[in-house]
Amino acid sequence: DAKTTQPPSMDCAEGRAANLPCNHSTISGNEYVYWYRQIHSQGPQYIIHGLKNNETNEMASLIITEDRKSSTLILPHATLRDTAVYYCIVRVATYNAGNMLTFGGGTRLMVKP
Amino acid sequence: ETGVTQSPTHLIKTRGQQVTLRCSSQSGHNTVSWYQQALGQGPQFIFQYYREEENGRGNFPPRFSGLQFPNYSSELNVNALELDDSALYLCASSLARSSGGGGTDTQYFGPGTRLTVL
């Protein structure tokens, strides 16, 4: 799976949009971009994933550049409960078993009042 | 729909002992993956079970072993515990299919088991 690069930490004001960047310049055509977050000492929580098109769900939006070499996770109105480590993961698109997740260092997002 | 559950929540063992951790997959899922997360690091893949067989393994020694049962629940066993085995152990379930058709499975994680080895 392709490697990803994320800033180690970011701050965001409560109520403002949090934009978390991820670089995946070596991504292949059959690889998805996945985002998870982990609140302190809890299991990672799935947020969203996408292949080419921008995606939105009740938690966040995922913007993928046209060349697919980078993406941005957007939390539209950050709250204190969004303080967590956010992981961007690139993963082969397959329903076959054996498809693991490779976690990097992630971005520690601190939402401040 | 029930989520992924793990037991126990916390566990303390001494060096050299053996431990068994348990995971119940989310309803409708048939695959279980196990990860180890040391303090301050991201989760590391241990292995995955599909159709009751190990299907993919990370860089972990043989003293890490597992089982998957017909109801898709799973166990992680660690023998001869070492101090460095102290970590948060995470289980994730997903739905894998043998046929193609595009798309991808999504792994959903449980709350984890915190293992401390003294």
CA distance A14 to chain B (A): 25
Distances (CA, A) of B31 to A79, A91, B95: 33, 17, 6
Whether the predicted pLDDT of B53 surpasses 70: yes
CA angle A35, A86, A53 (to 5 degrees): 30
What pLDDT score does A2 carry?
63
Distance from C-alpha of B83 to C-alpha of A112, rounded to nearest angstrom: 36
Pairing verdict, β B5-7 and A107-112: unpaired
Q: Does A42 touch chain B (CB under 8 A)?
A: yes
CA A3 to chain centre: 13
Disruptive mutation site among A4, A95, A103 for chain B (greatest number of B CBs within 10 Å)? A95
| CB-based contact B102 A42, cutoff 8 Å | no
The mean per-residue pLDDT over the stretch B29-55 comes to 92
Q: Does A86 touch chain B (CB under 8 A)?
A: no
At A24, list the tokens. 């995946």
CA distance A9 to chain B (A): 14
- Cβ neighbours, 10 Å, residue B52: 13
Q: Which of A55, A7, A103 is nearest to B88 (CA)?
A: A103
Distance from C-alpha of A103 to C-alpha of A46, rounded to nearest angstrom: 13
Distance from C-alpha of B25 to C-alpha of B5, rounded to nearest angstrom: 7
Residue with tokens 């480590």: A85
pLDDT in tens, chain A (113 residues): 668 999 999 999 999 999 999 999 999 888 899 999 999 889 999 999 999 989 999 999 999 999 999 999 999 999 999 999 999 999 876 656 567 899 999 999 999 99
